């Protein structure tokens, strides 16, 4: 798979080349006066092939970057709008310290006295950090690596995780708690259940290492969309294993509720600072690199378009000046302004169309490689490349039409006298 840094290196290299080879000629062309352009038609003609190739190359880069910006943004929207398998909204994760862990029941009861806190659960770590805990599970003499988390009975309902079959841990049945290395019960996600249900252990109630299967929950994402959902086991553990408290807050009065939480925290653990973070922010941090890439692509796109626009202004100015006599004759013979605009703009449309044909497969290849970094991803739709091409064409036409309009509306007598 293509690494994100590698792709960024490619993009930076392409843009740097575009600047090095694009800006100096464009600057030089802009410095050429109208009179020099008209008098040195042979020189312009001599270099026109290079200039056209340069502008086409710049628009190839522009279309690739615009396509990349749209696709990366579309993927970020996909990660934001997709169902994670649980409800992360209005869930606050609070760090636990030993003095709090020793008084979890008191801490919980005081928190629930606030009507803006609808639920409290305890867990071994942040949901996004469960990926770092693994255990080896032997199924029919074959070893599988399962991720695992330590929770309490309130975790599944608080996070609104669907129970597919079986039941949740019950606060009244302490035997379900894993008190030592042996005994207790466990809950699997669907990815783990797909492995276990094929095994011979079903005859023993899916007993693994002395622990009994209690239920199966719907798969939920505890990693970014870069990774597939791994098999997971959830255990109900004693309070000394918990490092995080998850608090479900009602909408509104969030600041006041957090102040209340801070007060209760200081009351029980006065020596510690209350550290907290919303769960949705935790998941947003998983895509920091991807958001940086979107911003970089957007900046590079604007830079590439700006450079291409400088060049196309120069070429359109020279094209109009070199055809001053032709424009004058056509106008004297009754040509409409729209016809002259079409005549002057046609070549530029062809160049952008050529750039689109070249850029689209390149952009598709690069962005398809980038999307391979995601286990769950958006589609590479044809309209993305069409939109990038239309944006490039629109910018080119606006730029060229301004110069063409000036040439088309000039007094034909003045133009012929100038010639």
303-354 pLDDT, tens per residue? 888 878 877 777 777 766 666 666 666 665 666 766 767 777 787 888 899 9
Together in a domain, 29 and 134: no
Q: What is the pLDDT of residue 196?
A: 86
Contact present, 236 and 184 (Cβ < 8 Å): yes
Over residues 241-282, the pLDDT tens digits come to 899 999 999 988 899 999 999 999 999 999 999 999 999 999
Residue 331 CA to residue 333 CA, distance in Å, equals 5
Q: How far is CA 107 from CA 18, 122, 152, in A?
A: 61, 11, 15
Lowest mean pLDDT segment, chosen from 122-131, 289-298, 355-364: 289-298
β-pair type (185-189, 212-217): parallel
Q: What is the pLDDT of residue 414?
A: 57
Q: If we measure between CA atoms, which residue out of 315, 300, 304, 301 comes closest to residue 26?
A: 315
Q: pLDDT confidence of 293, banded at 50, 70, 90? A: confident
Q: What is the mean pLDDT of residues 20-46?
A: 49
Residue that wins the pLDDT comparison between 410 and 358: 358
Q: What is the pLDDT of residue 158?
A: 97
Together in a domain, 78 and 102: no
Residue 88 maps to a domain: no
Together in a domain, 232 and 311: no
Residue 395 maps to a domain: yes
Together in a domain, 244 and 369: no
Residue 172 maps to a domain: yes
Q: What is the DSSP letter of 286?
A: G
Q: How many Cβ atoms are within 10 Å of 400's Cβ, its own excluded?
A: 27
Together in a domain, 253 and 324: no
Tracing tokens 């530029």 back to the chain, one arrives at 348
Q: What is the pLDDT of residue 22?
A: 56
Lowest mean pLDDT segment, chosen from 192-206, 239-253, 348-362: 192-206
Together in a domain, 40 and 150: no
Q: What is the pLDDT of residue 219?
A: 96
Residue 207 has pLDDT above 70, yes or no: no
Beta-carbon contacts of residue 392 (< 8 Å; ≥ 6 apart): 59, 62, 63, 66, 305, 352, 355, 356
Q: What is the pLDDT of residue 348?
A: 83
Residue 133 has pLDDT above 50, yes or no: yes
Q: What is the DSSP letter of 32?
A: S
Q: What is the pLDDT of residue 38?
A: 45
Residue 282 maps to a domain: no
Together in a domain, 179 and 318: no
Q: How far is CA 395 from CA 19, 262, 334, 342, 390, in A?
A: 19, 54, 30, 16, 9
Together in a domain, 53 and 144: no
Q: pLDDT confidence of 298, banded at 50, 70, 90? A: confident
Residue 89 maps to a domain: no
Domain end call among 271, 303, 319: 271
Residue 276 maps to a domain: no
Residue 238 has pLDDT above 90, yes or no: no
Q: pLDDT confidence of 3, banded at 50, 70, 90? A: low
Together in a domain, 234 and 296: no
Q: What is the pLDDT of residue 53?
A: 80
Q: Model's pTM, two decimal places?
A: 0.80
Residue that wins the pLDDT comparison between 177 and 87: 87
Together in a domain, 255 and 133: yes
Domain end call among 271, 303, 332: 271
Residue 281 maps to a domain: no
Q: What is the pLDDT of residue 116?
A: 95
Number of domains in the chain: 2
Residue 362 maps to a domain: yes
Together in a domain, 340 and 398: yes
Q: What is the DSSP letter of 334?
A: T
If phi > 0 it is left, if psi is from -120 to 50 it is alpha, else beta; for residue 87 that is beta
Widest pairwise Cα distance in the chain = 103
Using only C-alpha atoms, the chain has a radius of gyration, in whole angstroms, of 32
Together in a domain, 261 and 328: no
Domain end call among 241, 271, 301: 271
Residue 347 CA to residue 60 CA, distance in Å, equals 16
Domain that holds residue 175: 98-271
Average pLDDT across the chain, whole number = 82
């Amino acid at each position: 798979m293509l690494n994100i840094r590698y792709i960024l290196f490619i993009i930076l290299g392409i843009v740097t080349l575009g600047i090095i080879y694009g800006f100096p000629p464009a600057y030089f062309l802009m410095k050429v006066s109208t009179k020099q352009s008209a008098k040195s038609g042979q020189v312009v003609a001599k270099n026109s092939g290079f200039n056209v190739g340069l502008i086409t190359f710049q628009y190839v880069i522009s279309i690739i970057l615009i396509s990349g910006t749209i696709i990366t943004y579309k993927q970020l929207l996909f990660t934001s709008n997709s169902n994670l398998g649980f409800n992360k909204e209005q869930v606050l994760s609070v760090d636990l310290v030993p003095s709090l862990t020793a008084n979890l029941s008191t801490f919980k009861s005081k928190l629930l006295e606030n009507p803006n806190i609808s639920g409290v659960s305890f867990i071994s770590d942040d949901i996004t950090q469960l990926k770092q805990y693994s255990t080896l599970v032997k199924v029919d003499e074959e070893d599988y690596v399962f991720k695992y988390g330590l929770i309490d009975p309130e975790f599944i309902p608080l996070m609104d995780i669907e129970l597919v079959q079986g039941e949740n841990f019950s606060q009244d049945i302490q035997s379900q708690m894993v008190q030592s290395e042996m005994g207790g019960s466990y809950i699997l996600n669907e990815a783990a259940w797909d492995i276990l249900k094929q095994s011979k252990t079903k005859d023993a109630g899916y007993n693994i290492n002395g622990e009994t299967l209690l239920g199966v929950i719907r798969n939920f994402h505890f990693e970014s969309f870069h990774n597939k959902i791994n098999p997971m086991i959830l255990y109900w553990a004693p309070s000394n294993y918990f490092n995080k408290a998850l608090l479900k807050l009602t909408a509104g009065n969030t600041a006041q509720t957090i102040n209340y939480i801070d007060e209760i925290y200081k009351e029980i653990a006065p020596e510690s600072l209350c550290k907290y973070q919303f769960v949705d922010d935790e998941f947003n941090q998983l895509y920091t690199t991807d958001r940086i890439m979107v911003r970089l692509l957007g900046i590079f796109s604007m830079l590439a378009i700006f450079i291409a626009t400088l060049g196309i202004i120069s070429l359109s100015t020279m094209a109009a000046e070199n055809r001053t006599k032709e424009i004058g004759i056509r106008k004297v013979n009754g040509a409409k302004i729209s016809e002259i605009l079409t005549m002057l703009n046609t070549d530029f449309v062809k160049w952008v169309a050529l750039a689109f044909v070249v850029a689209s497969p390149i952009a598709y290849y690069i962005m398809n490689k980038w999307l391979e970094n995601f286990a769950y991803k958006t589609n590479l739709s044809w309209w993305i490349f069409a939109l990038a091409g239309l944006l490039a064409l629109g910018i080119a036409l606006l730029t060229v039409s301004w110069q063409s309009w000036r040439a088309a509306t000039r007094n034909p007598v003045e133009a012929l006298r100038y010639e």
